[in-house]
C-alpha cells in the first residue's frame, strides 16, 4: 500500500469548510474567551449543530474530533482508504488554526467522544450518540503513567460502584457524561483497567473545582470526585473480561486514535503562528525565499525556514498515523511518534514565532503570545513528550514496559 500525503480530494471541501469556520467564527472570539476563562462560548452551539447536521447527512465524513472508529471490514485489503481518521486530523488542524481552546470546548467533540468511537460496541455507539463526553484519566497520584490508576470499579449486581478522584478533566463541567478510567482489580495491574461512561447527575459524582490555566483558557478543566457512584454494567466500554495476556493493550487502543488528533491540534496551532509571523516579517521588510538556501538569507528568514521544515515533519507523521488507522494497520508506534514530534514542534514553533516578532509577538496586539500559551498543553496531555519517547523506544526495541521504564 502506498500513502499519498497530500490532502485527499474527497476531503478538500471539508478542510476548506473547517478553515472558513476557523477564520470567520473562531478567530474573532478567540481573545474574548481567553480573557473570560470559565465562561461558556455560546457561539459554539450553532457551530456544533452545523457539524451534527453534516454528520447526520453523511456529507462530511469525520467532521470534528469524533470520527476515529476503526473500520474492521477486511473485504478489500488491497485498496487504500482515506477515511474518518484522516478527515478528522485534517479538519481538527484547520480548526486549531482558528483556536485550540475553542475546539476543545466544542459540544460533542470531547476526547471522551473519541474514546467511545474507538472502543464502544455498536449498541453503545447508538446509546451514547449525541452525548458530549469528557475523558477522566489523570489522578492526583500520577500524571502520564495511566497504568497507575487507583480509581476503583467494583461490580455489585447489575452495576459498577466507582470510587476515586480525577484531575485535569477537559470539559469536565460542561460535558453530559464522563469516560472514567478505573481498575477492576488493582492486584492484576494494567490488564484490569477499563473505561466506563458515567452520566452527569449520577449520585456521588461531583465537580469539585475548575482549574485556572496558562492556555486553552476557553476550555474548562475540572477536578471530579466519585464517591460510591453507581453505573450500569452496560456502560463499561469494550470487554469486561480481564485478559492478563493482553495487558494494557485494550485501553491503549484509545490512545492510538486520540494521539494523532492531539498531534493535529499542535500542527494547526503552529501553522497559525507561522502564517502570521511570515506576514509580520514581510511587513518589516524580511522576505522568506523558499528557493534560496537559508545560509544566503537573513537570520530571521533562516530561522523561519527551519521552523517550517520541523512543522512539516510533524504534519507528515500525523497524517501517516491517521492513514494507518484508516487502513487497519497497527499504528501505536506511529501515533506516539506523531504526538511526540508534533507536540514538541508545536511548542517550539509558537514560542520561536513570539521571539521572531519581538515586542509584537510578546504583546496582546496579536494572537502569537496566546498561541504560544495554548500549544504547551498539546505537548503534555494525552501523554507527555517523555512518555511518547519511552513508548517509541519500547516499540522499536521490542521491549515491554517492565523491561524499559
In this predicted model, what pLDDT tens digit does every residue of 170-183 receive, in sequence order?
A: 999 999 999 999 99
Per-residue pLDDT, 1: 59
Check residue 129 and report its DSSP letter.
Answer: T
Higher local confidence (pLDDT), 71 or 162: 162
Higher local confidence (pLDDT), 116 or 264: 264
Question: Mind giving me the DSSP string for 62-83?
Answer: T-TT---PPP---TTTTS----
Is pLDDT above 60 for 356?
yes
Q: Residue 337: which pLDDT band, with cuts at 50, 70 and 90?
A: very high
The whole-chain average pLDDT of the chain stands at: 90
Higher local confidence (pLDDT), 77 or 391: 391
Question: Which of these ranges, 64-78, 93-107, 165-179, 308-322, has the smallest mean pLDDT?
Answer: 64-78
Q: Answer whether 223's CB lies under 8 Å from 207's CB.
A: yes
φ, ψ of residue 66 in degrees (nearest 5): -100, -5
The three-state secondary structure class of 143 is coil
Per-residue pLDDT, 374: 98
Q: Residue 256: which pLDDT band, with cuts at 50, 70 and 90?
A: confident
Is pLDDT above 50 for 67?
no
Q: What percent of the chain stands above pLDDT 70?
A: 91
Q: Residue 63: which pLDDT band, with cuts at 50, 70 and 90?
A: very low
Gyration radius (Cα) of the chain, Å = 21
The three-state secondary structure class of 210 is strand
Is pLDDT above 90 for 246?
no
Count of beta carbons in the 10 Å neighbourhood of residue 256 = 22
Active site residue 334: no
The alpha carbon of residue 90 and the mean position of all alpha carbons in its chain are separated, in whole angstroms, by 12
Per-residue pLDDT, 54: 66
Q: How do residues 284-295 score in pLDDT, each as one tens digit? A: 999 999 999 999
Per-residue pLDDT, 266: 98
Please state whether the predicted TM-score (pTM) of the whole model is above 0.85. Answer: yes
Which residues is 357 bridged to in the sheet? none
Is pLDDT above 50 for 141?
yes
Q: Answer whether 64's CB lies under 8 Å from 88's CB.
A: yes
Please report, for the chain, the start and end positions of each structural domain, with discontinuous segments joined by +: 9-127, 133-237, 249-397
* Ramachandran area for residue 58 (φ above 0: left; ψ -120 to 50: alpha; else beta): left
Is pLDDT above 60 for 386?
yes
Q: Residue 251: which pLDDT band, with cuts at 50, 70 and 90?
A: low
> Mean of the pLDDT values across residues 373-402?
94
Count of beta carbons in the 10 Å neighbourhood of residue 35 = 12
Question: Which of these ranges, 45-59, 201-215, 295-309, 351-365, has the smallest mean pLDDT?
Answer: 45-59
Q: Residue 75: which pLDDT band, with cuts at 50, 70 and 90?
A: very low
Fold for 249-397, please state it: Butyryl-CoA Dehydrogenase, subunit A; domain 3 (1.20.140)
Per-residue pLDDT, 402: 84
Task: Indicate which residue of 43, 199, 382, 403 is catalytic.
Answer: 382
Among 333, 331, 286, 293, residue whose Cα is nearest residue 309: 293
The three-state secondary structure class of 336 is helix
Q: Answer whether 68's CB lies under 8 Å from 118's CB.
A: yes
Q: Answer whether 84's CB lies under 8 Å from 28's CB.
A: no
Q: Answer whether 287's CB lies under 8 Å from 301's CB.
A: yes
* The dihedral sign for the CA sequence 81, 84, 86, 87: positive
Higher local confidence (pLDDT), 215 or 146: 215
Per-residue pLDDT, 83: 83
- Spell out a b/e string for 282-300, using b for 16 or more CB atoms within 10 Å of the CB, else e: eeeebebeeeeebeebeeb
Q: Answer whether 286's CB lies under 8 Å from 298's CB.
A: yes
Q: What percent of the chain stands above pLDDT 90?
A: 70
Is pLDDT above 70 for 71?
no
Question: Which of these ranges, 46-60, 102-116, 138-152, has the smallest mean pLDDT?
Answer: 46-60
How many secondary structure helices (H) and strands (E) does the chain include?
A: 13, 8
Q: How do residues 268-282 score in pLDDT, each as one tens digit? A: 999 999 999 999 999
Pick the CATH number of 9-127 from 3.60.15.10, 3.40.640.10, 3.40.250.10, 1.10.540.10: 1.10.540.10
Superfamily name and number for 133-237: Butyryl-CoA Dehydrogenase, subunit A, domain 2 (2.40.110.10)
CA–CA distance, 138 with 58 (Å, rounded to integer): 35
C-alpha cell at 307: 521552523
φ, ψ of residue 115 in degrees (nearest 5): -65, -45
Amino acid at each position: 500500500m502506498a500513502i499519498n500525503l497530500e490532502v485527499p480530494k474527497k476531503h478538500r471541501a471539508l478542510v476548506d469548510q473547517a478553515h472558513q469556520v476557523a477564520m470567520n467564527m473562531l478567530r474573532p472570539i478567540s481573545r474574548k474567551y481567553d480573557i473570560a476563562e470559565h465562561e461558556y462560548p455560546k457561539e459554539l452551539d450553532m457551530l456544533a449543530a452545523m457539524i451534527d447536521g453534516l454528520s447526520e447527512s453523511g456529507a462530511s465524513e469525520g467532521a470534528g474530533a469524533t470520527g476515529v472508529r476503526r473500520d474492521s471490514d477486511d473485504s478489500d485489503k488491497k485498496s487504500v482508504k482515506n477515511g474518518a481518521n484522516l478527515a478528522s486530523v485534517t479538519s481538527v488542524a484547520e480548526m486549531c488554526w482558528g483556536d485550540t481552546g475553542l475546539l476543545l470546548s466544542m459540544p460533542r467533540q470531547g476526547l471522551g467522544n473519541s474514546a467511545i468511537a474507538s472502543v464502544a460496541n455498536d449498541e453503545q455507539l447508538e446509546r451514547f450518540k449525541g452525548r458530549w463526553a469528557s475523558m477522566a484519566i489523570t489522578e492526583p497520584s500520577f500524571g502520564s503513567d495511566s497504568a497507575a490508576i487507583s480509581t476503583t470499579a467494583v461490580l455489585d449486581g447489575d452495576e459498577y460502584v466507582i470510587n476515586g478522584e480525577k484531575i485535569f478533566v477537559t470539559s469536565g463541567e460542561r460535558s453530559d457524561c464522563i469516560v472514567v478510567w478505573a481498575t477492576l482489580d488493582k492486584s492484576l495491574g494494567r490488564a484490569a483497567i477499563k473505561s466506563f461512561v458515567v452520566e452527569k447527575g449520577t449520585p456521588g459524582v461531583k465537580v469539585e473545582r475548575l482549574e485556572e490555566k496558562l492556555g486553552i483558557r476557553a476550555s474548562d478543566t475540572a477536578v471530579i470526585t466519585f464517591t460510591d457512584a453507581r453505573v450500569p454494567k452496560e456502560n463499561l466500554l469494550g470487554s469486561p473480561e480481564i485478559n492478563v495476556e493482553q495487558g494494557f493493550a485494550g485501553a491503549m487502543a484509545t490512545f492510538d486514535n486520540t494521539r494523532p488528533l492531539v498531534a493535529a491540534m499542535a500542527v494547526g496551532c503552529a501553522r497559525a503562528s507561522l502564517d502570521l509571523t511570515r506576514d509580520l516579517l514581510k511587513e518589516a521588510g524580511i522576505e522568506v525565499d523558499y528557493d534560496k538556501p537559508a545560509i544566503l538569507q537573513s537570520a530571521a528568514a533562516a530561522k523561519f525556514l527551519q521552523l517550517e521544515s520541523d512543522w512539516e515533519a510533524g504534519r507528515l507523521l500525523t497524517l501517516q498515523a491517521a492513514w494507518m488507522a484508516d487502513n487497519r494497520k497497527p499504528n501505536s508506534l506511529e501515533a506516539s511518534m506523531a504526538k511526540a514530534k508534533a507536540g514538541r514542534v508545536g511548542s517550539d514553533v509558537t514560542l520561536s514565532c513570539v521571539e521572531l516578532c519581538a515586542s509584537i509577538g510578546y504583546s496582546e496586539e496579536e494572537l502569537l503570545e496566546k498561541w504560544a500559551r495554548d500549544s504547551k498543553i498539546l505537548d503534555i496531555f494525552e501523554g507527555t513528550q517523555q512518555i511518547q519517547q519511552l513508548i517509541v523506544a519500547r516499540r522499536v526495541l521490542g521491549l515491554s514496559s517492565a523491561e524499559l521504564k
